[in-house]
Structure 1
Amino acid sequence: MSKLEELINKLCPNGVEFKKLSELMTPNPKSKIGAKKAEQMLKGEYPFYTSGKSVYYINEHMVDGENIFVNDGGQADIKYYDGKSSYADHVISFRPINVNGKYLYYILMKKKEYINEKMFRGSGIKNINKNDFFNMLLPVPPLEVQCEIVRILDNFTLLSAELSAELSARQKQYDYYKQKVLDNIKTNNIKHITDIALVKARVGWQRLTRAEYLYEGNYFLITGTDFVADGSINFDTCVYISKDRYDMDQNIQVHKDDILITKDGTLGKVAILKDEPPKETTLNSGVFRISVLNKQEVYPQYLYHYFTSKYFKDFVESVKTGSTIPHLTQQGLVTLDIPIPELNEQVKISNLLDKFDKLCNDISEGLPAEIEARKKQYEYYRDKLLTFKELK
């Protein structure tokens, strides 16, 4: 029997008391500092929590000790910090009382999806219903039980953080190694991209609108949101379009060995089709199709690695247009020159880089797979540990 089971059997065998969130916290004052203002402030040592993923560091602090931060609009996002900190005007902040602060954070994280679905309302940008939020009932076991749960979940969190740090270090190592490999290419055979590949994208939207997207069908439409970090396409997230729309343009119909590059918003995400798509597939206007003209001269996987290198990232920065929403235009992309060594050298380079790429980015193997497994394990145990029957 585990220590936690012993504590539960001893201290709360018949269930635990449920209390309103309002009984477990003291609200902090509403902030008068917006996220944009904080971003422009002098850099400091105190974290400044926003309603998004960004965390700034400034010279001022508003609260000290254990505090929890919840954004009041958009969707549920919950953060915890123990120490001096500040927060934005669209963040609800409170100090835990009569409860282990980290336990309260974990129980709120367990209910994050519920909070997002049931308590954020509105037709445009959703806002949290504070009355429902603060009246939400939460299980409150004895303090010893809370502390043991926190100890277990903290260990899971620490392990995940260590794996993520290792992955980040491996990714930097991989990027450095890839750059060194490409730097060492000794060739006078510099090819214009249009000499070695077909470069095509949907002309405008060809009047294709989101209203035409289908949730089932026989023809996939790839958008910029379907790209995966390992260089593949997640067809499970693809929408469908009609046969007429698929037949409209053969130049953007996707096939094995095609390389895809995002051209609007988040520029330069790259994927390669290692197999034929599971269904006939085309592209929306935000994605380029790069199709090698002669595979006896150019190895598609080599081209993929070049497009994921710093060389191409720097090129994109030099030719992109648009200040608010950046764009990589076809006019800009077709100015690209690429070093093309002998075919056997391209294959050798690709095989070397594939091994590193798999370790860093493959979602079925390597570190990403282990991190995903740990995440699922953590969520399973978190939900199990934080589920209590109510004391009657």
Structure 2
Amino acid sequence: MSHLSYMEKLLDGIEVEWKLLEQLVVDKFWIMPATPKFNEGETIPYITSKNIKGGHISFDKTKFISREDYIELSRNRPILAGDFLISMIGTIGEVAVVKESDLAFYGQNMYLIRLDETVIMSRYFWHFFDSPRMKSHFQAVKNNSGQGYLKANNIDKLEIPIPCPNNPEKSLAIQAEIVRILDAFTAMTAELTAELTAELNMRKKQYNYYRDQLLSFEEGDVEWKALGKIAEIKTGQKPSEILDTEAEFDYINAGTTRSGYCALSNCEGDTVTTPSRGQGGIGFVGYQNKPFWLGPLCYKIRSIDNKALINKYLFYILQSNNQLLLGLKKEGGVPAVNKSDLAKLEVPVPSIKKQERIVAILDKFDTLTCSIKEGLPREIELRQKQYEYYRDLLLSFPKSEEVTA
């Protein structure tokens, strides 16, 4: 079914009028009071535009004001349940609907919209407003001085499509049907995310269980050897240039993810890595399957004799026992693991055939887990694109001009 034919069927040939947002509200105003006195001992949150995220108000990292100051600030410009708050300075164009459970709070750098719900449904407006089209529009019209900001006029003069404007009852029924369809896609995406996340967590638990079983050895079953006797342990060097954009080689340094990219490599693949210094990275064990650049704050650990020790097995055994690496951490200043201490760490070394079997099994589990982990964002992105397609289909009413403000 084509774009227009679907809309024509839904609207049944009735009129659609694009109305200015200021015509669809019962109240609107800036929330930009003089900065009050903050006190962590008080209980009323005081938010800014940064706290408006994903249709909701986040009360993380807020300051607090007294109830007396709140009453004074909100006396003439109260924030009520059902109001829309729009971020106007710095973080711009984000929108949140105030819930009853959010109250009471106040803030600044926001614009408040109180819709006339005899004309426009709150959820209908939210779907229209919280779209990439609107985000792009706000980026285009914002004033770029300072942090960047929107003017009240940029909001008031937005044009909103109102079907059947002369028949409010039918108009709201059409809006409700559009909302029903779009909410169904939103719920579908949320349900899919929950299901795939649960599946991923289950696979991770299975993987950890079998890994721990495979890497648990009875006393006397295997020989335990000091890491420094069976593997080369070295740190790297700082590259001449660290690239932000993707290049041929990863730059592996302190931390739990790559630290950038490099045009050259200084270390071959099939190598175990673990940070030597830094906040948050100590104890993390990585495996680099292709050449990379090894930084100065990271150890490479490679088998001296591949016929006696497989690097991938070494990765799995160190990963499953990363608490031993954490136990080597030196506190005071920047956390660090000394090479001499790492070299003394003893690891179990079974026969090469048993190592091969362990690696083969764990690789399969890792592949299963990664396939879900990689597939999760792809599936969510697909559902999000479906939602955006139908939202644009349902809300792009025939109109001679694009949104202007």
Give TM class, smaller chain: 0.5 to 0.7
Alignment of 1:169-248 (within 5 A): 169-184=198-213, 185-187=216-218, 189-203=223-237, 205=238, 208=240, 213=243, 220-222=249-251, 239-241=261-263, 246=264
- Per the alignment, residue 371 of structure 1 pairs with 380
- Per the alignment, residue 331 of structure 1 pairs with 338
Determine the C-alpha separation between the residues in 2 that align with 1:114 and 1:26: 20
Q: Deviations over 1:12-66 (max 9, x none)?
A: 4xx640534795573585698999959x979xxxxxx9357894589x9964236
> Residues 289 and 55 (structure 1 numbering): CA distance in 2 closer, same or farther, change over 3 Å?
farther
- Per the alignment, residue 11 of structure 1 pairs with 14
Alignment of 1:1-392 (within 5 A): 5-12=8-15, 16-20=17-21, 24=25, 26-27=28-29, 29=31, 50=51, 55-56=58-59, 63-65=80-82, 67-68=84-85, 70=87, 72-74=89-91, 77-80=94-97, 82-86=99-103, 89=107, 92=110, 94-98=112-116, 99-110=120-131, 111-116=134-139, 119=142, 121=144, 126-131=147-152, 133-135=154-156, 137-142=158-163, 143-184=172-213, 185-187=216-218, 189-203=223-237, 205=238, 208=240, 213=243, 220-222=249-251, 239-241=261-263, 246=264, 253-260=266-273, 264=278, 267=281, 272-274=287-289, 276=290, 281-283=292-294, 289-305=300-316, 311-312=321-322, 315-316=325-326, 319=329, 329-331=336-338, 334=342, 338-362=347-371, 366-390=375-399
Determine the C-alpha separation between the residues in 1 that align with 2:307 and 2:38: 54
> Residues 369 and 198 (structure 1 numbering): CA distance in 2 closer, same or farther, change over 3 Å?
farther
Contact 2:87–2:95 at 8 Å: present in 1 too? yes
Determine the C-alpha separation between the residues in 1 that align with 2:37 and 2:274: 35
Determine the C-alpha separation between the residues in 2 that align with 1:391 and 1:349: 66
| Shift in Å, 1:160 | 1.8
> Residues 193 and 301 (structure 1 numbering): CA distance in 2 closer, same or farther, change over 3 Å?
same
Q: Deviations over 1:144-199 (max 9, x none)?
A: 44333322222222122122222332343334333333443115544555455444
Where structure 2 has 5 or more consecutive residues not aligned to the other structure, the ranges are 45-49, 71-78, 164-171
> Residues 141 and 176 (structure 1 numbering): CA distance in 2 closer, same or farther, change over 3 Å?
same
Contact 2:284–2:322 at 8 Å: present in 1 too? no
Larger mean Cα displacement after TM superposition, 24-33 or 348-357: 24-33
TM value normalised by structure 2: 0.63
| Shift in Å, 1:331 | 2.7
Q: What code does the residue aligned with 1:73 have?
A: G
State, as a whole percentage, how many aligned pairs show the same letter. 22
> Residues 105 and 181 (structure 1 numbering): CA distance in 2 closer, same or farther, change over 3 Å?
same
> Residues 130 and 226 (structure 1 numbering): CA distance in 2 closer, same or farther, change over 3 Å?
farther
TM value normalised by structure 1: 0.64
Contact 2:253–2:294 at 8 Å: present in 1 too? no
Q: Deviations over 1:208-255 (max 9, x none)?
A: 566xx4869x76453689988xxxx7xxx96555xxxx4xxxxx6243
Determine the C-alpha separation between the residues in 2 that align with 1:346 and 1:373: 40
Rg comparison, structure with higher value? 2
Contact 1:222–1:282 at 8 Å: present in 2 too? yes
- Per the alignment, residue 45 of structure 1 pairs with none
Determine the C-alpha separation between the residues in 2 that align with 1:320 and 1:114: 52
Where structure 1 has 5 or more consecutive residues not aligned to the other structure, the ranges are 43-48, 247-251
> Residues 64 and 270 (structure 1 numbering): CA distance in 2 closer, same or farther, change over 3 Å?
farther
